[in-house]
Amino acid sequence: MPYDQARQTNEIFMKLNNMITVVGAHAEGEVGRVITGGLLPPPGATMLDKLINMENNMDWVRQMLLSDPRGSVNTSVNYITPPCHPDADFGMIVMESDYYVHMSGSNLICTVTTALETGMVPMAEPFTKVVVDTPAGLVHVTAECENGKCRRISFDNIPSFVMHRDRIIDVPGFGSRRVDVSYGGMIYVIAEAAEFGFSLHPSESRDLVEIGEILKKAAAEQLPSVHPEIPEIHTVNQTQFTGPLETKDGVKTSKNAVIVSPGRLDRCPCAQARQPDWHCCMPEAKLRLERSLFIAQFWILSLNVKSSELRRSEICKQSSHRSKVVRGSPGFRSMASILKTHSQLVIGSPIHGLNKHWLENTRRFKICGCFSLAG
């Protein structure tokens, strides 16, 4: 290629509009990438204001990082910003394929791990305490650290509560079904898996996703759900199918499956979804919780690995209205600079509906779980 032509070609490709630094992390297998540089924070007096401003004026970031070829439907992106609250160390904005999330446990774990392991926030061993400013409120976090790594993250979640209990809705293809709607950072419609013919076995993955999206839409239309203190948080955006609560070897045991739009199974145990579920159970004393600290160990079936592979999520509960501590094991996966050139367009959007190839492969895909891919 002649020199002048090569130089001209190189100049075309190097006219950059944006270069965003993104760190790859996971929480019990749920991927959460974290933006650590390349963007100025959106304006706003509160984190909720910042989220709304970003959704209205900077949505190209979500589209660029979550759309093919840079992203995928099974990924979330988290943006570390300066905090708005004086007691917080940093702020967090969560972006998923279909919407902006006010608070997510797995994404919080990924974000705190990234902030500490990249040096954005000083790490102290054996424990580092940080406060994260989210659009849903302040979240107090404790990171167990060793040799410069985050080994485990625990956090005091925002209050969770029941919004609708034992409500009958019409679900297309199933008729009348009983559901609950609760809030735990996101708004979940909760249904017993058996009422829809499920045993929560890996072979049911595709059907769970399809019916979960139908159920979510029906609940959103028939059960208006608005946060009593933050009206900007509204509308059902997650589905949780629950299995029966059992006691095995003295341990409370249950299975669940959480459906994330536009159509996939949550890879992590999704303890945040179980918090509202407990509140729905408590009026009938299905869970006998004391005022003092109570630890319930749930063995949750991961629907995208073999049925024999179970992972444990430890959840501590201290009161009937606020789940105090959720613990999870994080992992630091990768770091990359995402480039957007002058002539490059954000093509398409995250896959809406079902990604057949991804769903079918979840039955063969082994999750990395609590192991760090970066060593």
Catalytic site residues?
104
Pairwise CA distance, residues 81 & 111, whole Å: 11
Sheet holding 187-192, edge to edge: 161-171, 175-183, 187-192, 238-242, 256-260, 264-265
Q: Is 208 helix (H, G, I), strand (E, B) or coil?
A: helix
Candidates 206, 218, 188; CA nearest to 353 is 206
Q: How many CB atoms lie within 10 A of CB 128?
A: 20
Residue 282 token pair: 């408590």
DSSP letters, 121-182, are S---SSEEEEEEEETTEEEEEEEEEETTEEEEEEEEPPP-EEEEEEEEEEETTTEEEEEEEE
Pairwise CA distance, residues 322 & 36, whole Å: 31
Per the omega criterion (within 30 degrees of 0), is the bond before 350 cis?
no
Candidates 186, 194, 271, 263; CA nearest to 220 is 186
